[in-house]
Every structure is written in structure tokens, then in C-alpha cells.
Chains A and B, each alone.
Chain A
């Protein structure tokens, strides 16, 4: 509508209609595309009730999901928190798909809806479409199909094999959820259908090979090379393997075909969420910066009233609240807040650099192209590299960031680097490490499988900095793992630097 640019507010008062939603969305998208140069997927706004929002929340934000009791558990927890008023509902959920689905709640005021559209339908959505990690790991146009398949397949299996049998596999697979991704390989998936076919083919081949190995009773003795049969086996299994779920899917001897498919489904979910795990800070930072910028521009154009803008500011300041570490409400760094601060800082460095910025960021300081710089950062980095690249001394100072070292052998915590000349680089390195996916979850590999003896599966946890596994949880997971593998499982904890064996868990010991 041409009225948009004449300074007539897009909406008045708190209540929304489909018409105001549409007009506001269009105005926001126009700003995003024309002024900020952003390029999100087309959006589908889905209006839901708070009850439905709670539902979506519990099933990990997916518009549809397979049935499982753990989602019910999460739902019960969320519902309790929400009903008792400990926690507000998320204002939005956005699905990384093409077209992107953006859930907005009917109870929100129009100002909140506008914020949500700018935040999710533009900010997150642009990030999903352009960020390298998302592009490498997920296929936006097949997400909904995959979800539908997962749901139908699980329900079909429940009908055919019984709920208990399906849950046994899913429970075990969920325990290994974080170990279902190929972190080290580039997971570029060209065409999922092709991938399926290829995977099935590879799976069949791998199993044939393994079967053959098992069936072989007379090892090759002839020839001067004296081939090592164990090395052959290891090669057939592709060991060592970090993707435990995939290993089990392909090589667990006793699983039926439908059980393998269940593992693949869980692995798909794990892969779907992997980019979100790796880019939480940037993703939220991008969305928060975007909604702030767009809402402010709308206000400057007279397209939203001061009242609505004030309401937005209230909402925004809630989102970017960061209690200090000694505050009662402290629960870690708020990705919305830190991400927002860093995005603003990048804009500042581009437009009003100080001498310090020129020294630290010679290639972007004063380039006067803040949007281009931001879009580049959003596209090419993940949290870990983003912090390593862009965390400036000014943000460290403003946030008074400091590093605390906790050595369990020492009686006290030690303060490492602080926000001073000597500490900036160390703080930055420490924070970047904190976002490194390799540091986030323990590194566990399948190292060996005894295919001719008791068929025991061997795993290794490479212990970094002496951080061993929680024994209770480890045993529980191992029990699940043994259920999938079908035979006993051992997990050795080895120091990653000295290779010293620290501890061994065995599934048959408890």
C-alpha cells in the first residue's frame, strides 16, 4: 500500500487484524530488502493460540513431530513453568524451511507481532538462508517432507511392532542424539532423495561386507603380505567413527531394517539442529539486531506510533537483559544480549572507528559499509569463529568480561584474563573456545568392534583437560547403546594428550 511511506502509522492500538499484519509485514520486508539488503525465504505466518505454542515448544519447536513420551515430559515441565508464571512463553518460533514457517501467538499485541515479524520472519529467516553452516547442514525445501516422513514412519512402526519396541529404539537413539552428526566431514547434502538412495546403497554394501567377514572362517593366509584381518574389519567398519548413531545404523548386527530407519530419523533431527547449536549466538544476535533496526526505522518513518515503539523498547530490553555473574538471576551469557551487542559494535566499528578499532580490525574499521560487513559475517561464520574474529576490546570492556579458571585439583577458582590490555585476546580466545562445538560436547568415538569374539563394541572418550564423563549418566547411555548394538559395550576414557587410560565403563558390569 502506498500509504506506508506517507507517515501514516501502519496500525493503531494494541489489537491486530489480518490486514494490519499483512501491511506491517510488507513494510518490514520492504525495509529489510531495500534498505538493509537482506534476503529471507518467503514467509508463512501461522497464527496459533498459546496452548498450541506450548505444544510446538515441547516438540522441540517442530510443526510436526513423531510421538514420544519425552516430548510429553518436556510439555509437562513447560506447562508447569508457564502456568505458575515462572516463565513466559516464547513470542515466536520459526522453522528453517522454505517457505519459512513463523508461528506467532494470537495473544500478542500488534507491536509485539511487528517485533516478532522483524525478528523471526526477517532476521532468523535471512540467517537460515545465508549462513554457511545452515547451508551445509540443512536442506530448507525438504524439512517439512522429512518431518512428515518421520512422524508417519514412527507411527507406522508403533502399529506394526508395538509402542514399547519403538520406544526402546528411540530412547536409546535420543541418548546418543549429540553423537549423530558428522562434525569433521563436510555435510553438504546436494539432494536428500539422492542421499537416501546413496545411504541405503552404502548401508547394504557395508553390511554385506561385514557379513562376509563374519562368515569367513578361514582367514587369508596365502601371499607374502600376510593381510591383517583385523585391519580389514576396521576398514570395513570405517573406524574410528565419531558419528555413533550412524555407525550403529550401518553396522549394528542385530537391528531390523525399521530400527535402522528410526536411527536415521533421529540422526536427521540431530543434523537438523546442529547448525542451531553452532550458531545460537549469531542467529539470535542477527535477529535481535534486525528487529531493533527495523522497528527504529519504522518509528523514524512515522509508520508506528510512539506508544507502540515504547512497548517495543520494553520488550526489547527484556530480551537483551544480561544479569552479571554474581546476580541471582544469572544463568550464563544471554545469546540475544551478547549477539546484539556484538552486531551493534560491528556497525560502530564500520562507521565510527576509534584508533583501537583501526588497530584491531584494520579491514573493516571505517569502511562505512556496515550492512555489507554484517551480511558477510552472518553468512560466513559460526559462533566460535565469529567471536574469535569480531569480539572487540570495547565489548569486553562494556561487558566487563573476565575469565575464570576452575581446576578441580586446586582449592580455589583462579581469575584468568580480565578486560585489560593484557587480557583482551585471552578473553576473546576463551569465549570463542566456549562456543567451539568440539568443546561443547565430549569427543567420543567408536574405536573397535570385536567381530569374531564376543562382539563387544569399543568406544573411546578422548578426555580434554581431565574432564571425565559423569559416571552415572555414562552408564545409563552405555546401557542404551548396548541395547542397540545387541552385545556388550566398553567405553574407555583416554587422556587426549598423554593417551593414558583413565577409566573404563563396561555395559555388562552394572
Chain B
């Protein structure tokens, strides 16, 4: 026999395997999350996310028998009363014969589906992305305060009286001081009345008078005690304590600007929609309230609802500055800069009236960028350009915005040619490091 002391050997031999397993599960999850965001409305972020992972990846299937088919017998220990031939009901929750026959309809049941909470979903989706607004926030350092519940206090306005707490204290005090209840006094009175009327006599054979005198005294003492020990004493009272806490602005408004002129086809709008949707999801994760304002423009701009924004048709020329103007107007009317974080996302094919570009540039650098936390401009390439190998000529708008973006870190511009590009571009725009430098 020999003894080998292995304790000094490195433990965690399985760390590598464990990492392999986690990698496997996680990358599939990430992929599934990305797939999931394809078909949903921009503002639908309330529901939990069902994520389906192809099961081959973390499951270890084996040929095994289906317990819902056939005949089997087992030997069990601990028989108490059963005789041979007894029939026992199946435990509930199990169906009768047949059960799950092989169903051929699709991959659905063949995958491993589970539900992520919204937060888990978004965490995965926006892993290592951050809001690029830190600089702007510091400059403004705007904080609002908000009251929060913070325990209980012994004084306060009547409106904050906490009934449950107060009565609980009262009950404790009354019990401790032995305050007789109304029912107990009533019972004494009742007995006294019946004794006095001669209806009953004391059970222990004493003279009724003795008992009457005794009862009177007890009753008297009880009444006095009831009078001196109040039902509710000021020391019982408890109030909800509220504390005001400073809070960063917890609301944001997101402006979606889109060129809907004839040059933007349905396909391009679809790409824009996905981009807007991602942005909304992302903002909703950081702010309690995100309002979305849709502004579409041709040579005129107007605020519309989501459906019209994406589906409505309009024809006309293209004057981008109208949309910027409209946005500034709405900000002035409804979204005071002190209270809202303002995000702007603009999608366009880049066409604009040549003389309007200059106006846009000025609006951007002088009015919009100073109040907005961040503005993302995505240029959707038309289908015909997506496959062409030659570098696309720069659009008017791109040419105009580019110098602004160079001097203003709050403006970012990217091109999107294909649905595949959207998520990478989005990640690129909000990457934790680097993007702001």
C-alpha cells in the first residue's frame, strides 16, 4: 500500500471544461437573443423574452424509452396494504395511454426554449454597451429629487399615519397593561343584571349579595382601568417616513427622424425601423421612461404615430432641415431640456437639397447637439448600391455631417446596407470604450 498526498496538486481540473460549457451556453444564448429582436414592435419591451436555443448545443441526448408508451413493471419496497391484483390510480399529472407520440411538426419542440426576464434579455443584448452621454451629463449635472419610503417615524402629518403599525403598537400596549375589552365588561354587566333580577344564583352556593358586591367592584375597577388606559395613545402612533433622494433624470425622449420621400423604399424603411427599435430597447433599459417621437419628412416635416411613420406613404422632395426644425419645436413645447435626456436618431438615404445641407449642419452644431445627449445618423444604402463593388460616392448629407461629427463627439454616423449590419453598427455606436474618443 502506498499513500500519495494529492492535495498540493492544482484543483480546478475541471475549470477548463466548465468554461467550455459556459461558453457554449452563452454564445448560443447571445445568438438566440439577436434572432429574437427581428420581429417586434419598437415599443414592445414589456413582455418577457422567450429565447430558443438549438438543443444540440447543451443537451446530451441518448436513446431512451418513452415512459408514455408500452408496458413495464417495477419492483418497489415498502408495500403496506396492497394485494396482488389491486388497481392503483396513476399519480395525477400523467396522462393515460398514448401520450406524446412522435410529432413531426417542426423544430419547435426540438429546441430548448426558456424565458429570460426582460432584464436578462437586455443585458445579453447590450452586453458591454454603454450610454455615450457621460460628458454631457456632467456639464448639466441636473438632478431631480424624489421621495421614497424609508421606514417609520413617531411623528408626521396625519396623511402619513400608518394604521397597521399604530394599531399593532396599541394592541401590544393594551395587552401589556391588561386593559379589559368591551366584551369582558359587557359580560360582567350581563351577569350582574341577571343576579340582581334573581334569574340566576351563584353556582358555588354563596349568597347572591356577596357575588353582586364582588361583581360590582370588579366592574368598577375594569371601567376605571378602561378609562385610564386609552385605546389609542399618542405613543402608539407611527407614521410612514419619507425621504427625498436626489435622482438623476430618469426620463428620456428619443426622436426618430426619417426621410420618407420616394427615394426611401419599404426595404430601407425596414432597416431603419430595426435600428430605431434597438435604440429604443437600449434607452428603455437605462431610463424609467422613454418617450418616442416620430418625425417624418419629405420637403415638409410632421410628427406622426409609429404606424404611420413606418407604413404611411408620401411623395415629395427632400428637405432634411424641416425635420430638425420640427424636432426643436417639439423639444421647446414638450420636453424641457432640464428634465429630459434627449436622443436623436436620424435615418435617411442621404439625399438632400444641396442648399439645405448647410442649414442642417448649422442647426446641428448650434442648436441640436448642445441639447442632445447623443445623435446617431444612419445612412441606409439603397438596394442598388448594396451589391456594387465600387465605393459609393458620398451623399450630400454625409458630406455635410462629416465635419460636424469630427468636432462634436455627440454625433455619430454610420452606414447600413443590410439587416446584418444593423446590430454590429449599433454595437459600434454604443461601444463602451473608444466610441467617444
Contacts and interface: CB of A to CB of B under 8 A. Distances in A.
Residues of A in contact with B, size category:
35 or more
B66 A69 contact: no
A251 B85 CA distance: 50
Contacts of A268: none
B70 A465 contact: yes
Interface string B76-101: 11111011111111100000111111
A32 to B, nearest CB: 12
A510 interface: yes
Nearest to A73: B21
B11 interface: yes
Interface in A52-95: 52, 54-56, 58-59, 67-73, 75-76
Contacts of B96: 408, 411
B75 A402 contact: yes
A502 B393 CA distance: 65
B63 A441 contact: yes
Contact of B74 (A45, A404, A476): A404
Contacts of A171: 56, 60
Interface string B9-21: 1011110111111
B63 A444 contact: yes
Contacts of B72: 405-406, 465, 467
A477 B78 CA distance: 37
B60 A48 contact: no
B329 to A, nearest CB: 56
A413 B88 CA distance: 5
B199 interface: no
A488 to B, nearest CB: 15
Nearest to A327: B78
Nearest to A77: B21
A417 interface: yes
B24 interface: yes
B110 interface: yes
B64 interface: yes
Contacts of A469: 63-66
A333 B75 contact: yes
Chain A at the B interface: mostly helix, strand, loop or mixed? mixed
A21 B71 contact: no
A412 interface: yes
Contacts of A414: 85-88
A476 B64 CA distance: 11
A56 B9 CA distance: 13
Contacts of A474: 63, 102
Contacts of B7: 47-49, 52, 106
B63 A407 contact: no
A431 interface: yes
B162 interface: no
A21 to B, nearest CB: 6
Contacts of A400: 77-80
Residues of B in contact with A, size category:
35 or more
Contacts of B83: 415, 418
A293 B102 CA distance: 52
Interface string B322-336: 000000000000000
Nearest to B13: A55
A509 interface: yes
Contacts of A431: 75
A55 B18 CA distance: 10
Nearest to A25: B1
A412 B88 contact: yes
B73 A410 contact: no
B71 A415 contact: no
B103 interface: yes
B3 interface: yes
A468 B73 contact: no
B19 to A, nearest CB: 7
B149 interface: no
B21 A408 contact: no
B58 interface: yes
Nearest to B2: A44
A503 B6 contact: no
B406 interface: no
A55 B12 CA distance: 7
Contacts of B9: 48, 52
Interface string A458-491: 0001011111111111111101100000000000
Given A324-B77, A325-B78, A403-B73, A73 B58 contact: yes
27 contacts: A18-B3, A45-B2, A45-B3, A45-B4, A56-B13, A72-B17, A72-B20, A72-B22, A75-B17, A103-B6, A178-B62, A178-B63, A402-B79, A407-B70, A408-B99, A415-B84, A415-B88, A417-B84, A434-B74, A434-B75, A464-B70, A465-B72, A467-B70, A467-B71, A471-B100, A476-B59, A510-B106
Q: Which 10 A-B pairs have the closest CB atoms?
A: A324-B78, A466-B70, A471-B102, A72-B17, A467-B70, A72-B21, A476-B61, A69-B20, A72-B18, A325-B76
Interface of A: 18, 21-22, 25-26, 29, 42-49, 51-52, 54-56, 58-59, 67-73, 75-76, 99, 103, 106, 121, 163, 171, 174-175, 177-179, 322-327, 333, 399-420, 422-423, 427, 430-431, 433-434, 441-442, 444, 461, 463-477, 479-480, 503, 505, 509-510
Given A400-B78, A469-B66, A505-B102, 20 more contacts: A45-B4, A46-B3, A47-B4, A52-B7, A72-B16, A72-B21, A171-B60, A177-B62, A323-B78, A401-B77, A402-B82, A407-B71, A412-B88, A412-B90, A417-B84, A442-B63, A444-B63, A463-B70, A467-B69, A474-B102
